[in-house]
Structure 1
Amino acid sequence: MWDELCRTPLRTELEWSLYDAFPRPSARPIIVPGSHGEDVELFLAADVTGAPRDELIAPVRWRTVGEPEFQTPDFEEFAGCVGERERAMFGKLYEANGLVQWNFSLPDYAPCYLDLDEPEEDDLGSGVLYHYDLNPLVPPQAVMGLLLGMVTEVTALHLLGGFEGDEDDEEVDVRDLASDLELDLIAWLAARRLRQKARPGLAAAQWFDSPSIPAPATLRWALVFDAAGSVEGLMLGHRYGVND
């Protein structure tokens, strides 16, 4: 199935018209550089009318979370707001030196906090570098979206070199390396891939609400897709990519 997704047909409007298929008015093209430096608009089969049925992407069920590599917390304190699959994802974050936890000290206005300042060894003897702190007051349905936003920030910092400085260097703000729209799109796409119901962040939501506005020229789609795949792989326990 994943190989099929990687070979999904992408065609220009002219190429689709040869199959008597035409892009829908709401279709958003994927824009890639052409061989002569011009932009080329490509459309998925799902975005055109009259596409051959065998070229439509079949619904994909979620992939299972990998088996634990070593003992991890059971995260029972989250049982009232997320399911077993989500708690298994928490375990995968733990295997990658991250700990998801309620933080009762967070002020009411702060739904979550990514703590990178206090590395520690926890009760199970694992080194925790990233504390994904969640405010106990947040609605249960918001937990996964908030968590994916924090995991996105850690992933972007890794991909963009934010952790490469010396220990004495000033901490790098991820928003100095990636735009709010890029971060929102990464988290939103990762949520979709993981079959999680998560609202897009403000920057992405505003862009989604204005389909006539083109993507900013500075938007790095390669970063968005690479980071979203990395977040997905991390949450599922596939460290080296979801197609391994």
Structure 2
Amino acid sequence: MEKYQKLEKIGQGAYGSVYKARDTSTGQLVALKKNHLPISDQGSHLQPPNPTLLPPNTVQSFLFQICSGVAHCHSNGVLHRDLKPHNLLIDVEKGIIKIADLGLGRAFSVPLKNYTHEVVTLCYRAPEVLLGANYSTAVDMWSVGCIFAEMVRMKVLFLGDSEFRQLLIIFRLLGTPTEEVWPGVTSLPDWHAYPQWEPQDLAHAVPYLGADGVDLLSKMLIYNPADRISAKDAMNHPYFDTLDRNQF
């Protein structure tokens, strides 16, 4: 903390506060997040969004680390339930990314219980949550997919201002789900008669992402939670074949 001059509080949440601060060595303005709950590492400052595109190898590295962290949570029976860019802490110099803010996280058990649906910031919320279904680890992987696309595009993939609008935006890109692709979807509590859209080419939404990356993203954004790729399986996807996995 001695490296930063705290200027003012700019945000307050249930589990943390955000402060505007200045790096005393460079003069750069940063956002510092103070967690009310302890975290396992020494923490780092949150960098403001970079308006330029992230290098592909940086996206690859960050995504692998996110998947690794999510896999660790899931293997220990914990859902994060609020994965979004603001809950990722980045050490720019070391290229290390950490998952923070487990305020909405909770242990899960088998059989699964009925958890609250007021989870996950809207832009990263899985369709099963939006439609009132029971959910499990797959909700975190939908969020990871949205973060992945955002790192590539440098803008939000599904930007809705209400739950209904959020679903429509998702459906316009991925197609309106049917019983064939997601058995039982039309019987979910919040299902309505939605416009029928055909799926678009996902590659057009992430034009700077190669074929392997698009394939991995498509597996993270599968409608049926039972078919959505797990964090552990995602780490073994060919998209990461050019990455030295042993460095993490």
TM-score, normalised on structure 1? Answer: 0.31
Larger Rg: 1
TM-score, normalised on structure 2? Answer: 0.30
